[in-house]
Structure 1
Amino acid sequence: MFWYDHDPGGWGWFTMSVGMILFWGVLITFGVLLWRALSRPDGSGAMSAPAPRRPTPEQLLAERFARGELDENAYRRGLTVLRGHGDDPGPDGR
């Protein structure tokens, strides 16, 4: 019943040692590759940061108005054009 006297012998120890090293090597390699695939900086992974949003034309217009590049009349005319209102504000913005 106990053919090998509970002792795998010299080659058995060697085979088990190599097998255990290969097992843990494959397991660790798989874990590292999975982690790298999920945390890619190019946006294809699940843990990547969202892409920065581009400002809308209205936001750009408001920024230019806030910096003083546009006066109030030009800002209001720009908003009217961007929002697509049919009424033309006229040359003085009214």
Structure 2
Amino acid sequence: MDMMGWYGGGMAGGTWVFMGLFWVVLIAVIIWLVVRLLPSGNHGSSASHPTPPAPSAPLPMPRADSPLEILDRRLALGEIDLETYQAHRAAIIASRGGVQ
């Protein structure tokens, strides 16, 4: 009795190669999808996310508004009425010794 015929001939050698390639391609596609869909630090090329150049000189600090400029802006925006504006302006000028 021939034991090789027990499996009904089995799969041919080429079928094993195609089945192996199928699984390799399937696993590669799954890994690629996981890498693309999960957030990461830098999964794109450097051309798609250019880094800004370092400044050659330090940027100037923004100038702080004076109390009178803040008061003027609040009046212009309608946050305070004219009477409040005039009272606060007089108080600021008085606190500076009458100098604007």
- Measured against the shorter chain, the TM-score band is 0.3 to 0.5
How does the TM-score come out when normalised to structure 2?
0.43
TM-score normalised by length of structure 1: 0.45
